[in-house]
Structure 1
C-alpha cells in the first residue's frame, strides 16, 4: 500500500515538474496549439453556381474570402457566415467592391445550387454559393487542406450531418492563399485580414 502511495505521489510530482520544464523552455509563440497553420497550396478551381459555372480566377483583382461548409450545418457555418457578414459591413464601399465572398457547399447530395444561393444571400447579397461533384470537392478541399466527412445519424430527420473544418481563407488578388482565419474570430480581425491584401 505504501509503495502504491509513493508511486502516485512521484507520478504527480514528475508530471507537474515535466509540465513546468516544458513551459519554461517554450514561449507561448512556440507551443503547438498556438502555432499558425501552414498555408495550403490552394489554386484555381471551377464549380457550379445557380447562375452557371464559377471559377476562382473569375475574381482576379479582388480579395476572395473562401469557406467550405453546407447549408444544413446547425452552428459552425452560420457562425462563420455571420462573421463574414459583419466583417464585410466594416469595409468601405470601395473596399467592398474589391472583395468577394465564396461559399463552397460540401453537401451536393442535399444542397441544390438555388438553395445554396438563397442561403448565402441571407447573409450578404454579394456572396456567391457554389458546389460540384464529390470528386471535384475532394480534389479542391485537399488542395486547401480542408476536411469534411459525412456522418450518418440514424433516427434523425436530417439522416446525416457533415463534420468539416471551419476556416475562412483570405485569397489575394492574384489567387494566392494569404491568410487562414478561424470561423469565430471577432469580425474586425477578418476585416483587417481582407484589408491587408486589397
Structure 2
C-alpha cells in the first residue's frame, strides 16, 4: 500500500516535460487516503463482512424538520384555550379577553346584583320605617287590650292575632257610607293577600260606637263582608283606651239615651300589625285594594319570625 501511494504521488508530481510541480494540497489528500487504506488492511481476516456489518452502529435518524405553522387549519378537538383554525385564534387575539359570551354573562350578573341590592334596600327601608314607630318597651301605635268579640267571648290582642299579621280598622255599624265602602275594600285586600301569601292575615273590626254595637249586631254586620273578620266591642272606657293606643280619633259621647240617633266621626285607616303586635304601616284611602294588598304581602315576605298559616 505504501509503495503504491508513493508511485501515485511520484507520477502526479511529474509533468510531460519531466519537471516537478509543487502541489502540497494534493499531496496531503493522497496521504490521508493512504492512511485509510492501510488501516483497513490491518483488520483480521477472520472478521467477515457479516461481522463488520453487525458491529457498525447505524447513525440515528434525524427528526424530520417541522415546517407546519403554530396553528393548523386542520380541525382539532376544541378544548379550553385551543382553537380550531388560525382564523379563530386571530379573531380571539384581536377581540382580547372579552367575547360575546363574556359580555352576556357580565350583563346578566350586573342585572342580578342590581335586583338583589334594590330589593335589600327596599327591605331595609321598610324595616327602618317599622322600627321608627317603636319606642323602648312599648309601641307608639297599638298595644295590649281586652275586648269582647262577636261571639261574646273576652279576648286579648294576642288571642286576636293568633300568630298572624292583623289588619285593624275602626268604624261603627250605623255608618251610612264610608264604613261599608272601606270594609268592602278590606275584604278585597284580604282575599288578594290570601292568594299571594296564604291565610296569614287576620282582618279585625273594632267599633267606635260601643253603645249600639253589641256582639250580635257586629256579627250580623260583618257576615256581609268577609267570614274571616273578627269584630270587637266593649265598654266605653275600653273602646276609648284602645282608640287612644292606636291614635284613632272618635267623637262618640259618653252618656246616650236609648234610641238616640247620631253619627260618629273617626279616623279612616287600616293599621297593619305584625304577629308580635308591633305597628308596621298605615294604609289610607289613597291606596287601592291591589296596592294595599301588594304592600301587605311585601311586609309579610320580609317577616323572619314564626308565622301561622292555617285557616
Distance 1:137 1:101 in 2: 18
1:45 deviates by 1.2
Pairwise CA distance, 1:88: 1.5
1:161 equivalent in structure 2: 263
Counterpart secondary structure, 1:149:
coil
* Structure-2-length-normalised TM-score: 0.47
Contact persistence 1:83–1:183 (CA under 8 A): no
Structure possessing the higher relative contact order (Cα contacts under 8 Å, 6 or more residues apart): 1
Which one of the candidate residues 148, 161, 164 is aligned to 1:48? 148
**Alignment TM-score, normalising by the size of structure 1:** 0.72
Indicate if the aligned counterparts of 1:48 and 1:130 stay in contact, CA closer than 8 A: yes
Counterpart for residue 97 of structure 1: 199
User: Normalized per residue, which structure has more strand?
Assistant: 1
SS of structure 2 residue aligned to 1:102? strand
> In the alignment, what sits opposite 1:114?
216
Q: Which segment is superposed worse, 167-176 or 52-61?
A: 52-61
Secondary structure of the residue aligned to 1:185 is coil
**Alignment-derived partner of residue 19 in structure 1:** none
Q: 1:106: how far off?
A: 1.1
Q: Distance in 2 between matches of 1:175 and 1:138?
A: 19
Alignment check: 8 A CA contact 1:79 1:184 kept: no
SS of the aligned residue for 1:85 comes to helix
CA distance in 1, matches of 2:222, 2:210: 15
Tell me the alpha carbon deviations over residues 108-163 of structure 1, each in whole angstroms, 9 at most, x when there is no partner.
11111111012112110010111111111111111111010037xxxxx9621101
Structure 2 residue 247 is matched with structure 1 residue 139:
no
* Structure 2 contact 210–239 (Cα < 8 Å) conserved: no
Contact 1:88 1:96 in 2 (8 A): no
Q: Which residue of 2 aligns with 1:154?
A: none
Number of the residue aligned with 1:72: 174
Q: CA contact under 8 A between 2:208 and 2:252: conserved in structure 1?
A: no
- Larger C-alpha radius of gyration, 1 or 2? 2
Measure the CA separation in 1 of the matches of 2:196 and 2:158: 21
Length, aligned pairs only: 157
Q: Which blocks of at least 5 consecutive residues in structure 1 are unaligned?
A: 1-35, 152-156
Q: 1:192 corresponds to which residue?
A: 294
For residues 48-106 of structure 1, the C-alpha deviation after alignment (integer angstroms, 9 at most, x for no partner) is 01321222212242010001110010111112111111111212357342110000011
- Asked if the contact 1:80–1:184 (Cα under 8 Å) also holds between the matched residues in 2, the reply is no
Correspondence 1:12-23 to 2 at 5 A:
none
Unaligned runs of 5+ in 2: 1-128, 134-139, 254-258, 301-311
Secondary structure at 1:130's aligned position in 2? Answer: strand
**Corresponding residue number in structure 1 for 2:158:** 57
Alignment pair present for 1:123 and 2:204: no
